[in-house]
Structure 1
Amino acid sequence: MKNPITIQTNISAPISKVWDLWNKPEHITNWAFASDDWEAPSAENDLRVGGRFKTVMAAKDNSQSFDFEGVYTVVKEHSLIEYDMSDGRHVKIEFEETPVGVKITQNFDPESENSEELQRAGWQAILDNFKIYVESLA
């Protein structure tokens, strides 16, 4: 990764719960969007090296949608996920147990179409949605 963007969050929940809610399609559709006017109507996830994932992200007013997809390159249960997105960018997600729960650190290669600030804010908003979702199920 060259000049990756890094985002983080801390979640008050056990690692097994965080891992399951991050990776199970029936949960991904509940948190994988950056704002309330977007949604994730469908998700597929084959969590293994060489496995593929795809989450459809769509505006609720049907004005736009896109597939967020890629192939896993590293999977270490409860600790690390790495994947290459369909546009060739790389993502690394670390799950670290802490005394109060789990710290998630996500590094991703920026794309050239949007500013790094906008990309950081969008990805952080999705990560924040995940935190809210997990902690709401506690």
Structure 2
Amino acid sequence: METTNQAITISSTIQQPAAKVWEIWNAPEHITQWCAASDDWHAPKASNDLRKGGAFSTTMAAKDGSFSFDFGGIYDVVVPHQQIAYTMSDGRKVQITFTEANGQTEVVETFDPEGTNPIEMQRAGWQAILDNFKRYAESK
């Protein structure tokens, strides 16, 4: 299993302006619609206090009820429509940038890997969630 302390980066370009992408990324009523890596998972609950020092939490669950977990953390940086940085509950860091050009927004997420799962599995899982976000955001 490949392990590393090097951060992992994923990205996607959303065919929406940054203000719209920001709203869909951060509003709990939207998070519950897109925050899943596959069709057999969902996010039944989300809360978000979007400010430096604010907390967020999203419950991610298998639709068959076999497993669920809360994904959350505390915001370190919030620059509306541009950047979010947070520390996950296990101490790992995440940075997300939102860069708008020509009516579309590039979302880039960089996160510290955890030590249990292979790097490629982590990258693929986070990318699948971002791809699901893209599909949802572009339908709005």
Query: Normalised by the shorter chain, which TM-score bucket?
Result: over 0.9
Q: Could you say which residue in structure 1 is the equivalent of 2:92?
A: 89
Q: Which runs of 5+ in 2 are unaligned?
A: none
Deviations 1:23-77 (Å, cap 9, x if unpaired)? 0000000000100000000000000000000000000001100000100000001
Q: How big is the alpha-carbon RMSD for the aligned residues of Structure 1 and Structure 2?
A: 0.7
Match of 2:55 among 52, 60, 71: 52
Distance across 2 between alignment mates of 1:98 and 1:104: 12
Equivalent position to 1:76, from 67, 76, 79? 79
Q: Aligned partner of 1:46: which letter?
A: D
SS at match of 1:56: strand
1:117 to 117, 120, 125: 120
> In structure 1, which of residues 63, 68, 77 is the aligned counterpart of residue 66 of structure 2?
63
Q: Which residue of 2 aligns with 1:12?
A: 15
**Which 4+ stretches in 1 moved above 3 angstroms?**
none
Hey, what's the Cα distance between the residues in 1 that align with 2:17 and 2:97?
A: 15
Q: TM-score, normalised by structure 1?
A: 0.97
1:100 to partner: Cα distance: 4.2
Aligned positions, number: 136
The equivalent position to 2:41 in structure 1, one of 35, 38, 42, is: 38
**Gap regions ≥5 residues in structure 1:** none
